[in-house]
Amino acid sequence: MSYETILVETKDKVGVITLNRPKALNALNDQLMDELGHALQQFDQDDAIGCIVLTGSEKAFAAGADIALMANYTYMDAFKGNYVTKNWEHIRQIRKPVIAAVSGYALGGGCELAMMCDFIIASETAKFGQPEIKLGTIPGCGGTQRLPRAISKSKAMDLCLTARMMDAQEAERSGLVSRVVAPEKLMEETLAAAATIACMSLPVVMMIKDTVNRAYETTLSEGVQYERRMFYSTFASDDQKEGMKAFLEKRPPQFKNS
Ligand code: HXC
């Protein structure tokens, strides 16, 4: 498949996807979401890739779902066309870590897309918000659900009800992003984090992603029980033997992803 709205490249063991509709500040239309889903699945299935980075432009990660696309939608267009569900949820099926590198605007669906990634590294220029209320609608891809889990009910209500934007510093203070870096360091730092992850045991990386995500879907007791089962299962892997042996032998581990 050749892509028109995203750029795809690999950097060693890291797959990099860049949203690329610059004239519309990477507004997310069906073509882009189809292409993004396809590229994510390709990287997920590629044994040579250990981590994926999703980024946008300097000015915008993504300024939201494409308003021109939605403007004349009827209820039936959205309902029968399965809007959002049909191509925004692919990212949730990806088993390898996906890091969002956010510079500039991450608004509406752009903020929701960043939140569907496993963690967010932000440039000092990043601005996050859910301004749908100004358009007479509400967040439609998890913003009302993921934002309170990420930054508290109070801040989520503030952002969704006033449509104000949150800068990178506030986003880091609130726990939405894991790190804030200088704009010129955004890709360097994100790719370094991705490369670090890509050198770990891939099945263990995937287990950690799965187990942390379980925390959002279940009770503490169930989640801890799930973690314990996954922890036990690592003792069936060659990579656990290698990791602990390498520590005791004071050398770097050579993981074989088995
Ligand atoms: C379609 C968009 C767009 C969007 C920007 N553009 N955001 N087109 N959908 N979400 C287009 C503009 O129309 C314009 O096109 C070009 O990108 C540059 O934008 P400007 O507004 O001229 O840039 P600037 O003045 O710098 O303002 C940047 C901005 C503003 C603050 C980000 O563009 C903005 O407010 N955008 C909308 C943000 C938003 O409301 N997002 C939520 C969407 S709803 P032309 O052709 O005029 O140059 C949503 C719901 C998700 O996401 C539900 C789940 C799917």
Query: Residue 70 CA: which ligand 1 atom is closest?
Result: 44
Q: Is residue 164 in a domain?
A: yes
Q: Indicate if 123 and 57 belong to the same structural domain.
A: yes
Q: Indicate if 216 and 241 belong to the same structural domain.
A: yes
Among all residues, which ones are annotated catalytic? Answer: 65, 109, 112, 132
Which ranges constitute the DSSP H helices of the chain?
30-45, 67-70, 75-80, 85-88, 109-116, 143-151, 153-162, 168-174, 186-198, 202-214, 220-234, 238-248
Residue pLDDT tens, the chain, 258 long: 899 999 999 999 999 999 999 999 999 999 999 999 999 999 999 999 999 999 999 999 999 999 999 999 999 999 999 999 999 999 999 999 999 999 999 999 999 999 999 999 999 999 999 999 999 999 999 999 999 999 999 999 999 999 999 999 999 999 999 999 999 999 999 999 999 999 999 999 999 999 999 999 999 999 999 999 999 999 999 999 999 999 999 999 999 999
Instruction: Check if 66 has its Cβ closer than 6 Å to any atom of ligand 1.
Output: yes
Domain that holds residue 122: 6-198
Residue 81, token pair as written in the block: 């066309």
Q: Please choose, from the candidates 107, 165, 160, the residue with its C-alpha nearest in 3D space to the C-alpha of residue 137.
A: 160
Q: Indicate if 207 and 181 belong to the same structural domain.
A: no
Q: Indicate if 133 and 149 belong to the same structural domain.
A: yes
Q: Indicate if 185 and 231 belong to the same structural domain.
A: no
pLDDT of residue 102: 98
Q: Indicate if 137 and 180 belong to the same structural domain.
A: yes
Q: Indicate if 41 and 104 belong to the same structural domain.
A: yes
**CATH for 235:** 1.10.12.10
Instruction: Check if 84 has its Cβ closer than 6 Å to any atom of ligand 1.
Output: yes
pLDDT of residue 220: 98
Instruction: Check if 107 has its Cβ closer than 6 Å to any atom of ligand 1.
Output: yes
Give distance in angstroms: CA of 148 to centre of ligand 1: 24
Residue nearest to atom 25 of ligand 1 (CA): 25
Give distance in angstroms: CA of 57 to centre of ligand 1: 14
Instruction: Check if 53 has its Cβ closer than 6 Å to any atom of ligand 1.
Output: no
Q: Is 68 left (phi over 0), alpha (psi -120 to 50) or beta?
A: alpha
**CATH for 80:** 3.90.226.10
Q: Indicate if 216 and 194 belong to the same structural domain.
A: no
Residue 59, token pair as written in the block: 């000015």
pLDDT of residue 203: 97
Give distance in angstroms: CA of 49 to centre of ligand 1: 33
Helix, coil or strand: residue 20: coil
| pTM value > 0.90 | yes
Residue nearest to atom 30 of ligand 1 (CA): 63
Pocket test residue of 25, 79, 111, 116 for ligand 1, highest count of atoms within 8 A of CB? 25
Give distance in angstroms: CA of 43 to centre of ligand 1: 29
Distance separating alpha carbons of residues 191 and 147, to the nearest angstrom: 25
Q: Indicate if 74 and 165 belong to the same structural domain.
A: yes
Distance separating alpha carbons of residues 11 and 9, to the nearest angstrom: 7
pLDDT of residue 215: 96
Q: Indicate if 25 and 52 belong to the same structural domain.
A: yes
Number of domains within the chain:
2
Q: Indicate if 123 and 144 belong to the same structural domain.
A: yes
pLDDT of residue 1: 83
Q: Indicate if 186 and 224 belong to the same structural domain.
A: no
